[in-house]
């Protein structure tokens, strides 16, 4: 691609991966990232993840799903035909659709369209042509006005999970210059230009063209968000409130601290952001409210464009990550799964980068799940003999020696804290990763492995 085409394509990826394409009215209650549940299923069923070299792929694409059933295959074919025809009519005939991975490919890059397909699948037949047309308009938005006075009414603040932005930077293959600032651990505040069919994220170049500062733009974004947020929250259940807007900016309302403090809650507000069009609030000391919120969030997360199941607590000094009560199983599991999704999205992007660059000397470990004797879900990663690996932080670490007989390959398994205490000298915090990664290249000696022991949940079955 020439530089102009490259700039256009990177812009498309920014729009799609940051959840910028506008949705049709049928999916107003559905929100952000496609692939959330697929990533969790991988974590639950997970591969051995023992640090073996990456397999070679037939195409430079993310791993595809299995072949779909016949009726779904027919729908995918119709979606492909409608999408490619719409692109050709809009003057973009060079895209090729990959039906299993749900990517459009063109010279120089990939464009994910799984979220568009999910909406297409839910839509009535007569609604699909406009959905396709609106999505394509969102792929190729008009230029942002060059003057601050014209752009200002359309500038609005929003919020994203930090992992979203970090993974996008890896996949964009270039520095990500969007305006952002930290809101809490794992959350960032951004500002967008809100057009009729898309949102475009603002960057330093826009500031230079407008002659304004980042502080001015963020302030205007928050003012615009507040102006669009006059309706009261809806009470979903006693002590549990849900955002009523459904305008693709609901998760941005996490910035409206004073609004949350006015709600009738038991304890500090706890804010959940399961998708773009659903923000849920309850009280930190409201056990029934937290149970009801967890049930509600789990229902939203199975819909297309899921965002995150974790929550944040609003204290006097701002938002901090919320740790659910030990007896709240739903929210505890959702928090675990959100962490796993973050790490596995990061792994996918890093694997794609390594494949592009022809480098396979560093193994990026997966976050996996198993159950203990009481049926409680626990996360773990695999530290493998002979593999230079980047480990995610999980509840347990499993040590594997592939040179042993298959039934004896798991040589130790212990809690993360105990492993770091006993084997920490072989672990280095890797710089430049979010979520954090820890590099290991030397396998612990037999004395250390014996001291760590083998947790019964990871012992081979008799």
Q: Which of 142, 90, 114, 132 is nearest to 19 (CA)?
A: 114
Judge contact between 370 and 378, C-beta under 8 A: yes
The 10s digit of each residue's pLDDT in 125-168 is: 999 999 999 888 888 888 899 999 999 999 999 999 999 888 88
Query: Which residues of the chain are modeled with pLDDT < 50?
Result: 1-40, 42, 44-47, 52-65
Give the pLDDT of residue 177: 82
> Residues 263, 266, 267, 273: is their CA dihedral positive or negative?
negative
The 10s digit of each residue's pLDDT in 261-289 is: 999 999 999 999 998 889 999 999 999 99
Percent of the chain whose pLDDT exceeds 70: 83
Q: Which strand (E) or helix (H) includes residue 45?
A: helix 36-45
Helix axes 3-17, 162-172, angle to 10 degrees: 160
Give the pLDDT of residue 21: 36
Give the pLDDT of residue 50: 57
Looking up tokens 């959330």 gives 36
Cis peptide before 435 (omega within 30 of 0): yes
CA–CA separation, 456 and 373 (whole Å):
8
Indicate the pTM of the whole model: 0.80
CA–CA separation, 56 and 365 (whole Å):
17
Query: How crowded is residue 224: how many other Cβ atoms within 10 Å of its Cβ?
Result: 20
The 10s digit of each residue's pLDDT in 340-380 is: 999 999 999 899 889 888 887 899 999 999 988 788 889 99
Looking up tokens 């398994």 gives 413
DSSP state at residue 396:
E
Q: Which of 368, 410, 360, 412 is nearest to 387 (CA)?
A: 360
């Amino acid at each position: 691609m020439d530089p102009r085409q490259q700039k256009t394509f990177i812009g498309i990826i920014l729009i799609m991966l940051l959840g910028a394409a506008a949705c049709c009215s049928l999916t107003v209650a559905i929100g952000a990232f496609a692939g959330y549940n697929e990533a969790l299923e991988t974590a639950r069923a997970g591969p051995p993840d023992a640090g073996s070299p990456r397999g070679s792929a037939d195409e430079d694409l993310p791993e595809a799903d299995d072949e779909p059933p016949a009726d779904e295959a027919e729908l995918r074919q119709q979606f492909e035909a409608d999408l490619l025809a719409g692109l050709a009519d809009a003057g973009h005939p060079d895209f090729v659709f990959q039906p299993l991975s749900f990517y459009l490919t063109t010279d120089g890059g990939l464009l994910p369209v799984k979220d568009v397909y999910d909406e297409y699948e839910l839509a009535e037949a007569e609604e699909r042509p406009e959905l396709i047309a609106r999505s394509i308009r969102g792929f190729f938005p008009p230029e942002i006005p060059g003057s601050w006075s014209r752009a200002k009414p359309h500038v609005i603040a929003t919020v994203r999970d930090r992992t979203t932005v970090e993974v996008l930077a890896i996949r964009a293959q270039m520095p990500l210059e969007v305006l952002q600032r930290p809101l809490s651990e794992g959350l960032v505040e951004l500002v967008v230009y809100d057009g009729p069919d898309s949102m475009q994220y603002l960057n330093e170049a826009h500031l230079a063209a407008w002659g304004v500062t980042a502080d001015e733009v963020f302030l205007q974004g928050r003012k615009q968000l507040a102006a669009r947020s006059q309706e009261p929250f809806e009470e979903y259940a006693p002590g549990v409130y849900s955002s009523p807007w459904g305008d693709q900016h609901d998760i941005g309302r996490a910035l409206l601290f004073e609004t949350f403090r006015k709600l009738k809650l038991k304890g500090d507000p706890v804010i959940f952001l399961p998708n773009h069009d659903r923000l849920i609030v309850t009280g930190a000391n409201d056990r029934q409210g937290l149970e009801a919120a967890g049930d509600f969030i789990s229902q939203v997360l199975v819909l297309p464009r899921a965002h995150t199941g974790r929550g944040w607590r609003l204290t006097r000094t701002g938002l901090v990550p919320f740790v659910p009560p030990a007896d709240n199983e739903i929210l505890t599991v959702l928090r675990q799964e959100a962490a796993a999704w973050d790490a596995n999205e990061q792994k996918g992007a890093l694997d794609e980068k390594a494949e592009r660059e022809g480098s396979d000397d560093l193994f990026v470990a997966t976050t996996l799940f198993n159950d203990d004797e009481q049926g409680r879900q626990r996360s773990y990663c695999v530290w493998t003999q002979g593999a230079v690996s980047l480990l995610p932080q999980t509840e347990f670490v499993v040590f594997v020696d592939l040179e042993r007989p298959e039934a004896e390959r798991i040589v130790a398994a212990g809690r993360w804290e105990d492993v770091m205490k006993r084997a920490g000298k072989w672990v280095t915090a890797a710089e430049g990763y979010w979520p954090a990664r820890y590099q290991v290249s030397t396998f612990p000696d037999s004395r250390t492995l014996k001291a760590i022991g083998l947790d019964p949940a990871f012992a081979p079955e008799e």
